[in-house]
Copies of this chain bind each other. A is one copy, B any other.
């Protein structure tokens, strides 16, 4: 049961809880909170020194259908429409049952973050790439921290939740169901500072460990071109060990080879960086992307992530995202000095051309043409949905960043049913095992739309937390056969 059991002096410690949750991002915190609120003793572990996982690096955006914000703005939206948007982006690889479950409770999910944790959102909705209508709510500081921090604050004071950092999941503890011979998850083995513990979970285990974007050996088996030379936006803990241990107990993976690139990242900074905050808020909706080789546009700046990333990769060199001083005001990071030196300022079109080796005459034509499109309200060249408040690029300084896609999100992962139960290769739910968020697959299919991951994590995190709490795995005292 433990790597240390051979050594008599290194006796394995055994603990007993109702539920263990692996990972402390959106999904893990939501799951732990719901289970704890139903009175269960929850152990919440994270291998990293700081809680929040990738969620703290998130832009604090969440898509929802039927918000009062939509009603106020007169935006017509529906579960069907958002589902179709996600299917279109996901090339219909999405699991419809998961989409329906998640989207139908999308506004409830946002409301829950407001009522339970006091999280606040801006009134104005954003229409992100690939979404048919504005439906994305943004936190006040455009940061996942705006959600993670209040959640953590509340959860840390719950007497029946214990959050343990630098505590690593090692493997599952299984027991066989005498009636059907199926393996069930009885608990997990964890390690902390070299000490191993067996954690027996009377109700079950929830996997909320995220994706594997930073796990080069694992991801490059699924997508060989995403090897050492492609950077990742993710924190270094975004690795595959939980998925691998799940595969070893016959959890079925889905669509592991569908891995998303982020089109808004810069090669001039590490990780997710700050360039995306400029591009998502300002550069893409209020500016243009230019190939420095031709000094022209080449893609719909608000197309889906796959289209944009592939269009940039096809250039075989970084490209440039640029807007003017008015456009730059929409940057999600308001203090543009924080973006230096990745973000550059230019006092003339010639300066832009000089910086990137472009042809100043062609660049001016490109800008003039885009400005004419904005004036007409229609982008004939690339079909970009121009914002009502989009304006011609005229006011200097212009601002620009170089773009090169990075590995951002794993659409594939463990197959779950709509109760967040992890499915066995043979088609039944593995008893005692739940999962939510990026560790699962099937919600986003072939490509994920922006602001749908936060919804995915919180909605299925809650489902997993509530279900683990009410899950009648076995009668009391049935754990006597668990070796320690």
Contacts and interface: CB of A to CB of B under 8 A. Distances in A.
How many A residues are at the interface, by size bracket? Answer: 20 to 34
A460 to B, nearest CB: 17
Contacts of A224: 92-96
Contacts of A257: 93, 254-258, 412
Contacts of A255: 222, 256-257
B221 A415 contact: yes
A371 to B, nearest CB: 34
Interface stretch (A13-21, A50-58, A245-253, A464-472): A245-253
Contacts of A250: 247-248
Interface in A149-170: none
Nearest to A250: B248
A94 B146 CA distance: 41
A194 interface: no
Contacts of A93: 223-225, 257
Contact of A222 (B92, B96, B254, B425): B254
A68 interface: no
Contacts of A225: 92-93
Copy total for this chain: 2
A248 B249 CA distance: 7
Nearest to A225: B92
Contacts of A256: 253-257
A74 interface: no
A335 interface: no
A427 interface: yes
Interface string A288-303: 0000000000000000
Contacts of A92: 224-225
Instruction: Pick from A224, A244, A427 the residue with the most CB of B within 10 Å.
Output: A224
A426 interface: yes
Nearest to A98: B224
A74 B53 CA distance: 59
A217 interface: yes
Contacts of A95: 224
B247 A425 contact: yes
Contacts of A221: 252, 254, 415, 423
A3 to B, nearest CB: 10
A94 B224 CA distance: 7
Nearest to A426: B244
Given A222-B254, A256-B256, A248 B96 contact: no
Interface in A412-448: 412, 415, 423, 425-427
Contacts of A247: 247, 250, 252, 425
Contacts of A244: 425-426
6 contacts: A92-B225, A95-B224, A221-B423, A247-B247, A248-B250, A248-B425
Given A221-B415, A247-B425, 15 more contacts: A93-B224, A93-B225, A93-B257, A94-B224, A95-B224, A96-B224, A217-B427, A247-B250, A247-B252, A248-B250, A248-B425, A253-B253, A253-B256, A255-B256, A255-B257
For the complex of A and B, the 6 pairs showing the least CB-CB separation, nearest first, are A255-B257, A248-B250, A247-B425, A244-B425, A92-B225, A95-B224
